[in-house]
Amino acid sequence: MTTIAPKILVIDDDPDFRTAVTAILASASYDVIAADNAAEGKNKILAERPNLILLDIMMDGLFDGFSLCHSVKTAKEFESVRTTPIIFLSAVKNIAGDRFGFKGEEQGMVGPDDYIDKPVASADLLARIDRLLKR
Amino acid sequence: MQDPLVLIIDDEESMRDSCSQILLKGRYRVETAPDGTTGIQKIRDLLPDAVIVDLKMPGISGFEVLKNLRLIDPLIMAIVVTGYATVESAVEAMKEGAYDFLPKPFTPEELRMILSRALEHRRLALEAEKLRREKKLLEDNVITMVSHQLRSPLVAIQQYFEVILSDIAGRVEDKPKEMIRRASERLTGLLNLINDWLDLARIDQGRLVGKLKPLDPGKMMRKLVEFMTPLAKEFEVTLEWSGPAGPNFEVLGDEETLEQVFTNLISNAIAYNKPQGRVRIGLREDPDFVIIEVQDTGIGISQEHLPFIFDQFFQVSRREGKKMKGSGLGLSIAKKIVEAHDGRIDVSSELGIGSTFTVRIPKVRREADPA
């Protein structure tokens, strides 16, 4: 019996970054889908039901990423995909927080399952994804 | 745009009526109140552009109304009228924030003129406020935008290099691979420089160090030591921590920027160290300060360089083999952050032996402490 490759959704507005990260994910045999803004991201989450989400938080507005994460983890419309692990990708250090604490907490928002700074080291990214998918 | 709203507060009905008539002819909208209490309530509810208030009224006086008006919105203009015009009451009214003073009896012309000036003053004040807010928003946005605009392309390039260097995009020969690796290192240096410059810009605007809150310095340092241990291992250096084990004295600090300071000091201590060297991190207190020391057995700093160590861009040449990615701004940023906490940072060093950086942060005064 063949196992279906896990599907990863990459939500990032930088097309070059998406290309590079897709190459990393494909090398580990993941199936990759992409969205270039939060709204499209929302639609694809519901339509494609990815196994994991990579979310850039420095798109149009800082809170686009934060609120998308919060929605997925709390809103009724995302109930069916609530447990999908989310990793924040950040090009601006410390903007979302780190292992020391999620900064959206002050606004009452629910944070991601992990953080990773851009540019990502391929081994590091793949290890974190693997860890979350095995949970 | 609606006509300006003027509220007339006077206990005399004849005054309210005649003022209303004068103003309605001059294209103002008018509301009235027969006493101070109703007046204050109407100010809250209607937020007029100007208020004409009688000083002497039974119940709450005109002065009380002025006091309340200022608390509700200092940009609502108040014109005080009174039949008992004295220099003292005029001065008192101005002190309470009144725009001007109009003694009774006055002509319709006088009323309209004073009101017109008051509203012009209000218009200018509102405009200045709007420009101040826009300027702040712009400054905030410029920093964020510059930050994002400068970083994004570099990040994209770095990410491509990373993919190539991992052989994910196909086999790459050694020579081009080495060149790409070097190019990537230079980009990392540039990214760090941008980060540091933006930190400096923010610190100068008072925007880097956030609100100071009580924090446990021991807890913060223990976390950092744990976090920096992998880097120390990479450089074959041991990290030693000596400080209180449990929760302890508090300082007022901004956790994020203080972490930045000590991450910088500890990574310098690791990078400038000798093989199998030591970095000792200690925390202690004296009556006024919490004192944190970062001591290394490194290459040290010469006496001639020591006075410049916290200057921007000052860098002492590095240990052979291992390249740190610093920009030379780290210590100058660290110093500014510590100073923003009302603290002090000092360094002592001996060439070939090692250096000790000492940071002092004022302790939180507790109620029980003697004055």
Which pLDDT tens digit goes with each residue over B164-210?
999 998 999 999 999 999 999 999 888 888 888 877 777 776 767 77
**Which of B248 and B356 is assigned the larger pLDDT?**
B356
Give the lowest-confidence range in B83-87, B206-210, B216-220, B349-353. B206-210
- Strand A101-102 relative to strand A114-117, pairing: unpaired
How many A×B Cβ pairs under 8 Å? 56
From chain A, the residues in CB contact with B159 under 8 A are 16-17, 20-21, 118-120
DSSP string, B277-310: -EEEEEEEE-SSEEEEEEEE-BS---TTTGGGTT
What pLDDT score was predicted for residue A95?
A: 47
At residue B298, does pLDDT exceed 70? yes
Give the closest-approach CA distance of B134 to chain A in angstroms.
Answer: 18
Average pLDDT over chain B, rounded to an integer: 87
Residue in chain A nearest B156 by alpha carbon: A17
Give the lowest-confidence range in A50-59, A74-83, B361-370. B361-370
**Which of B315 and A54 is assigned the larger pLDDT?**
A54
Give the lowest-confidence range in A62-71, B98-107, B225-234, B323-332. B323-332
Give the closest-approach CA distance of B162 to chain A in angstroms.
Answer: 7
How far, in whole angstroms, is CA B202 from its chain's centroid? Answer: 8
What pLDDT score was predicted for residue A21?
A: 96
What pLDDT score was predicted for residue A97?
A: 45
Which strand (E) or helix (H) includes residue B189?
helix B174-204
What pLDDT score was predicted for residue A2?
A: 60
Interval B353-369 mean pLDDT:
81
What pLDDT score was predicted for residue B150?
A: 85
Place B365 in a pLDDT band, splitting at 50, 70 and 90. low
Which residues are paired to B97 by β-bridges?
A: none
Place B244 in a pLDDT band, splitting at 50, 70 and 90. confident
Q: CB–CB of B148 and A92 under 8 A?
A: yes
ipTM of the modeled complex: 0.86
| Phi, psi dihedrals of residue A40, rounded to the nearest 5° | -60, -35
Amino acid at B185: E
Contacts of A57 (CB under 8 A, 6+ apart): A64, A65, A66, A88, A89, A90, A95, A96
What pLDDT score was predicted for residue B317?
A: 59
| Count of CA atoms in the C-beta half-sphere (13 A) of B11 | 13
Q: CB–CB of B156 and A16 under 8 A?
A: yes
**Rounded to an integer, what distance in angstroms lies between the CA atom of residue B209 and that of residue B341?**
8
Burial A11-37 (b: 16+ CB within 10 A, else e): bbbbeebbebbbbbbeeeebebebbbe
Burial, B109: exposed, middle or buried (Cβ in 10 Å; 0-12, 13-18, 19+)?
exposed
Which pLDDT tens digit goes with each residue over B111-166?
999 999 999 999 999 999 988 888 877 776 677 677 778 888 999 999 999 999 99
Residue in chain A nearest B169 by alpha carbon: A23
Give the lowest-confidence range in A87-101, B50-64, B119-133, B315-329. B315-329
Which pLDDT tens digit goes with each residue over A61-95?
556 788 899 999 999 999 999 999 999 998 765 54
Q: CB–CB of B160 and A21 under 8 A?
A: no
Q: CB–CB of B259 and A100 under 8 A?
A: yes
What pLDDT score was predicted for residue B196?
A: 82
Place B322 in a pLDDT band, splitting at 50, 70 and 90. very low
